[in-house]
């Protein structure tokens, strides 16, 4: 799965993320994906803005999370996923990948 395909998945699944008044930014090798859960509905964009939580990883790791071949906790502990900010927001990511 490449960056554009992953972005399309997030666009399609964004309605599953509740509006919680927070923002999440995924930093991938090809660029950022910004998930804004602070408006009336969750919005997904490719903007590079400050967020309440920033998750840095690769598209391959996100694909592994999606297909179940990567365990999220192990990926964080091994450094494949780096989280800066509010960890509870990062946990919302799983809903986008399911």
What residues pair up with 32 in beta bridges, in sequence order?
Answer: 27
Domains of the chain: 3-97 (3.30.1050.10)
Is the pLDDT at 94 greater than 80, yes or no?
no
Three-state DSSP class for residue 11: helix
Taking residues 17-27, report their average pLDDT.
Answer: 92
- pTM: predicted TM-score of the whole model, two decimal places: 0.88
Strands 22-28, 53-56: pairing kind: parallel
pLDDT of residue 22: 94
CA distances from 78 to 19, 61, 67, 81 (A): 30, 12, 19, 8
pLDDT of residue 97: 67
Confidence of residue 21 (pLDDT cuts 50, 70, 90): very high
CB 3 within 8 A of CB 31: yes
3-15 tens-digit pLDDT? 998 899 889 888 8
């Amino acid at each position: 799965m490449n960056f554009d395909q992953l972005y399309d998945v997030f666009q399609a699944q964004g309605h599953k993320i509740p509006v919680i008044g927070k923002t999440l930014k995924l930093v991938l090798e090809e660029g950022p994906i910004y998930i804004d859960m602070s408006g009336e509905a969750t919005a997904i964009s490719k903007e590079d803005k400050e967020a309440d939580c920033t998750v840095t990883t690769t598209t391959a790791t996100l694909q592994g999370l999606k297909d179940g071949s990567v365990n999220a906790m192990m990926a964080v502990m091994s450094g494949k996923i780096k989280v800066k900010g509010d960890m509870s927001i990062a946990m919302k990511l799983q809903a986008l990948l399911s």
